[in-house]
């Protein structure tokens, strides 16, 4: 485990430094409330009182900065009247769940050789590979409005309506294409008064890297840590060539903002940069 320790220390160092930076320079008042014309309705299950919705698009592609921003928002934001959608993506990175063993989940020597980062997030779930072709969505809200199915259905229905894709949410809260190929995993973190739910969307990921980086060479090794469940995956760009990072996040952000209690016609555009 000696190799993993520098990465874990690096994450903690980044988290501390970035939290300090946010506390000095970042205020939620900097985020403009974005509003759009209401879209087609979703079925709201187990939701409570309406909230104002706001979107943050991080311009950083550093896993440590983005995880730190996510954590800072979670720990320092009052979600009583406002829910947020944080959107971000990273350069080549392997992200392991809170209770996982990196040596069991990934090819650590290969990652070291290739200079690929390893990061441990604060949520549970399995190990994932990130690059610029993987979109990350994080829904931050109050505990009473926490609803994984609503979040997942919002993304799938927004994309399906725009591009006629056959995306659906399975019993494990994964997004599937044609009920066969996984295009998104899911994880969450809950506290007494707030929660976040985040998941990826495979748009144009290097699947060769995904396969080689997430295959541990320690055959037969065992651990009491949480194990990932392998799945067949596919890139959405292979299904619909018109998809881009920009038009997907615009589509999803508009759908999210259309459920804000104070919606007014306005076109979505990224409002704040971290980079």
Which one of 7-16, 78-87, 98-107 scores highest in mean pLDDT?
78-87
- The CA distances from residue 33 to 41, 83, 142, 230, 271, in Å, are 20, 11, 18, 39, 9
Q: Regarding predicted confidence, which is higher, 37 or 224?
A: 224
Higher pLDDT, 109 or 46: 109
Residue from 31, 56, 83 nearest 194 by CA: 83
Cα dist from 127 to 14, 30, 137, 157, whole Å: 20, 33, 16, 26
Query: In this model, does residue 148 exceed pLDDT 80?
Result: yes
> Per-residue pLDDT for 53 more than 70?
yes
- State pLDDT tens for residues 250-261: 999 999 999 876
Token pair for residue 79?
Answer: 């979600």
- Top pLDDT among 47 and 179 is at 179
Q: Which two tokens stand for residue 22?
A: 């946010």
Instruction: Identify the three-state secondary structure at position 72.
Output: helix
User: Left if phi > 0, otherwise alpha if psi is -120 to 50, otherwise beta: which for 46?
Assistant: left
Evaluate whether 92 touches 130 at the Cβ level (below 8 Å): yes
What would the mean pLDDT of 97-118 be, rounded to a whole number?
Answer: 89
Helix 245-257 × helix 148-163 angle, to 10°: 120
Average pLDDT over residues 154-180: 95
Among 7-16, 72-81, 185-194, which stretch is predicted with the lowest mean pLDDT? 7-16
Burial grade of 206 (CB within 10 A; 0-12, 13-18, 19 or more):
middle
CATH code: domain 50-258 is: 3.30.930.10
How far is Cα 67 from Cα 73, in angstroms, rounded to an integer?
Answer: 10
pLDDT at 9 over 70: no
pLDDT number for residue 231: 66
Q: Where are the domains of the chain?
A: 50-258
| Nearest alpha carbon to residue 34 among 193, 195, 249 | 249
For residues 15 and 108, what is the distance between their CA atoms, to the nearest angstrom?
A: 22
Residue with tokens 């952000």: 253
Q: Is 113 exposed, middle or buried (0-12, 13-18, 19+ CB in 10 A)?
A: exposed
Average pLDDT (64-91) is 93
- Residue 76: count other Cβ atoms within 10 Å of its Cβ: 12
User: Residues for the chain: how many in total?
Assistant: 275
% of the chain beyond a pLDDT of 90 = 57
Q: What would the mean pLDDT of 67-71 be, rounded to a whole number?
A: 92
Residue 274 structure tokens: 């971290």
How deeply is 241 buried, as exposed, middle or buried, from its count of CB atoms within 10 A (0-12, 13-18, 19+)? exposed
Q: Is the pLDDT of residue 262 over 90?
A: no
Contact 141, 77 (CB under 8 A): no
């Amino acid at each position: 485990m000696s190799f993993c320790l520098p990465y874990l220390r690096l994450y903690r160092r980044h988290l501390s430094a970035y939290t300090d930076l946010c506390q000095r320079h970042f205020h939620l008042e900097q985020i403009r409330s974005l509003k759009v014309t209401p879209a087609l309705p979703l079925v709201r299950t187990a939701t409570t009182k309406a909230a104002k919705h706001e979107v943050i698009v991080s311009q950083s592609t550093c896993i440590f900065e983005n995880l730190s921003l996510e954590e800072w928002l979670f720990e320092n934001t009052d979600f009583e009247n406002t829910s947020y959608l944080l959107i971000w993506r990273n350069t080549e990175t392997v992200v392991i769940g809170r209770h996982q063993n990196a040596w069991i989940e990934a090819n650590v020597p290969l990652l070291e050789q290739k200079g690929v980062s390893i990061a441990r997030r604060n949520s549970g779930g399995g190990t994932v590979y990130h690059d610029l072709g993987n979109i990350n969505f994080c829904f931050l809200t109050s505990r009473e409005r926490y609803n994984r199915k609503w979040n997942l259905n919002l993304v799938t229905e927004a994309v399906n309506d725009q591009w006629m894709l056959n995306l659906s949410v399975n019993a494990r809260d994964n997004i599937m294409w044609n009920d066969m190929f996984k295009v998104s995993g899911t994880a969450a973190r809950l506290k007494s008064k707030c929660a976040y739910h985040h998941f990826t969307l495979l748009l144009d990921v290097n699947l060769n890297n995904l396969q080689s980086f997430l295959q541990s060479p320690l055959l037969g090794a065992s651990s009491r840590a949480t194990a990932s469940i392998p799945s067949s995956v596919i890139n959405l760009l292979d299904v619909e060539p018109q998809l881009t990072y920009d038009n997907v996040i615009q589509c999803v952000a508009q759908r999210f903002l259309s459920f804000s209690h104070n919606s007014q016609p306005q076109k979505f555009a990224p409002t704040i940069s971290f980079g």
